[in-house]
Every structure is written in structure tokens, then in C-alpha cells.
Amino acid sequence: MSTITITAADINKLRQQTGAGMMDCRKALTESNGDFEEAIDYLRKKGQKVAALRGDREAKEGVVIAQTTADHQTGFIINVSCETDFVSKNADYIAFAQSIMEAAVAHNVKTVEELSAVKIDNETIADKLNEQVAKIGEKISVSRFERVDAPYVAAYIHGSYRMGVLVGMTQEAEDAGKDVAMQIAAMNPIAIDAESVPAETIAREKSIALEQVKAEGKPAEMAEKIAQGKINKFFKESTLLGQAFVKDANKSVADYLKSVDPALKITEFKRVALG
């Protein structure tokens, strides 16, 4: 049985193709008897194994990108997560995340599973992610994927790819879309308005309010009315349309939208932040 000589040039070539470390490339070529395709498969398998071993590691860093289609009728947010800001701030890692976003837009994907199967340069995104795991040695994944469809969608990225926001609107309003997206980034509303707050959330808040009223020693006959006042305050502080507009605290977001166009409505929003 002949022995294949693995040269430094071979190792460097595989490193250039995969970004894996020198010793990993040497072992991959040795195990595959010098076959580059098999060596790449070996490294991918190694990446999958590393990903599995690191599956319990927290990946609170990463890159969050929000982007719309050219017609602004669909928007996407992806969070390509990793473990350290050293990796997330790297220009190559940001470019890698951007390439995933561009693939999401180009293929009009609807789920993260669908995105994983999309190909970039004849490799699936799932394989590309595993290559990054092998190259970098951190847990890396598309940990969040959000999509909004509307007559007009605004996208906003905040804080050097730390947060992404999408806002669905009933009509085109570029400046208003940016303003509302910034509002959502800053104030983190839980819903568009009081009617869209989940019933279980309202029930929980009311229960808390009633306990607070009792603790304050208020008469029982006043408890319900006082609790409802606290719920109304919660709606004002926690729902998008009820919140004070960050650019003018004298008006609510609802008032601001009405001043732009009485027919302008928010249909949906998504907010994804690191951490």
C-alpha cells in the first residue's frame, strides 16, 4: 500500500479552501489519503461533531441583520450567533452573516429550516455554518429567523449589528417606518396595541395589580377600579401605539402616525437583540 506524501502546499491549499487550522488540515488530508474532497468532508464532519459538543454552550454574541426585499414588501431578520464578541466583530464574520441574509432574500425563504438548505457557492448554509464551527471553534448557528410581509416593510439595524427591527405598515412611509423602528428598538413594546396583548399577559398583570392594591391597604370595593387603572398604565407603557413617541414625548406613537397619515397603520413588528 503506497503512502501519500502530504506537502506544506497541500495543507495550505486546504486551509485556504476551508479556513481550518493547519493541524486539522494535515490530519484531514492524511485520513483521506490526500483526496481534497474527502478531506473537506472530513473537516465538515469534524465541524458537526464540534457543534454537537458545544451545543450546551451559550452563544449570546453574534451578528443581527435586518433587511427587506427591493420592493419593501418582505423583511427578514437573522441572528448568526457565536460565543464571543471577538468573533462577532470580525469583518469576515459580519460578511459571512450578510451572505446568509442575501441568500434569504434571494430565495424568499420562510423558515430557518428552509434557509439551512439554501446553497451559497454550491454548498448549503448548514454546511457553511459547520465549516465556520470547524474554522473558529465556537458554537455558531442561525439562532433567530424572523420574517414580516406587508404592503410596506421598514428595516432597521441598531448598535453595530446588535439589534434588528422590522416594521410592517399598510402603505409606504419611509421616514415613519424608520422612526417607528427606532421606537421599537429603544422601548421594546410587547404588542402593537392593547387589543393585541395576549390574554394571559393581561391576566397576569391584573393579578399583580390586585395584589399591589391589597398591599397598599385600599378598600376592597376600590380594588378593581384601581387595578384597571394600573392595567391602563401598563398598556400605555408597554404597547407600541400607546407609548410616548421617543422624538416627541408630548404625543403617543399613535398620534405621530396619525399626523403622518390618518390611514397609516402598523400591521406587525419584530425585534431581535443579542443577549
Q: What is the pLDDT of residue 55?
A: 64
The closest of 72, 213, 49 to 155, measured between CA atoms, is 72
- Residue pointed to by grid coordinates 400591521: 267
Question: In terms of Cα–Cα distance, which of 100, 142, 140 is closest to 120?
Answer: 100
pLDDT at 178: 97
Residues 179, 245: Cα–Cα separation, whole Å: 9
Spell out the long-range contacts of 34-37 with Cβ–Cβ below 8 A and sequence spacing 24 or more.
Answer: 34/4, 34/6, 34/10
* Average confidence (pLDDT) over 45-68: 78
How confident is the model at residue 1, as a pLDDT?
Answer: 43
Residue 237's contacts (CB-CB under 8 Å, 6 or more residues apart) are 243
Please report the pLDDT score of residue 14 as a whole number: 85
What CATH number did the domain enclosing 39 receive?
Answer: 1.10.8.10
Residue 172 lies in a domain: no
Does residue 187 lie within any of the structural domains?
no
Query: Among 7-21, 36-50, 217-231, where is mean pLDDT lowest?
Result: 36-50
Longest dimension (CA), the chain: 93
Q: What is the mean pLDDT of residues 31-38?
A: 90
The DSSP result for 168-202, as a single string, is EESS--HHHHHHHHHHHHHH--SBSSGGGS-HHHH
Answer whether residue 54 shows pLDDT above 70. no
- Pair 91, 49 in one domain: no
Task: Tell me if 95 is assigned to some domain.
Answer: yes
What's the domain count of the chain? 3
Residue 238 in any domain: the answer is: yes
Section 22-33 average pLDDT: 91
Cα distance between residue 75 and residue 105, in whole Å? 8
Query: Containing domain of residue 123, as a range?
Result: 61-166
Judgement on whether residues 85 and 147 belong to the same structural domain of the protein: yes
Which residues on adjacent β-strands are paired with residue 145?
A: 78
C-alpha–C-alpha distance, residues 273 and 254, integer Å = 24
What's the confidence (pLDDT) of residue 256?
Answer: 98
Q: Tell me the pLDDT tens digit for each residue of 131-184.
A: 999 889 899 999 999 999 999 999 999 989 999 999 999 999 999 999 999 999
User: Looking at the domain assignment, is residue 103 inside a domain?
Assistant: yes
Query: Hunting for cell 470547524 — which residue is that?
Result: 134
pTM of the model: 0.80
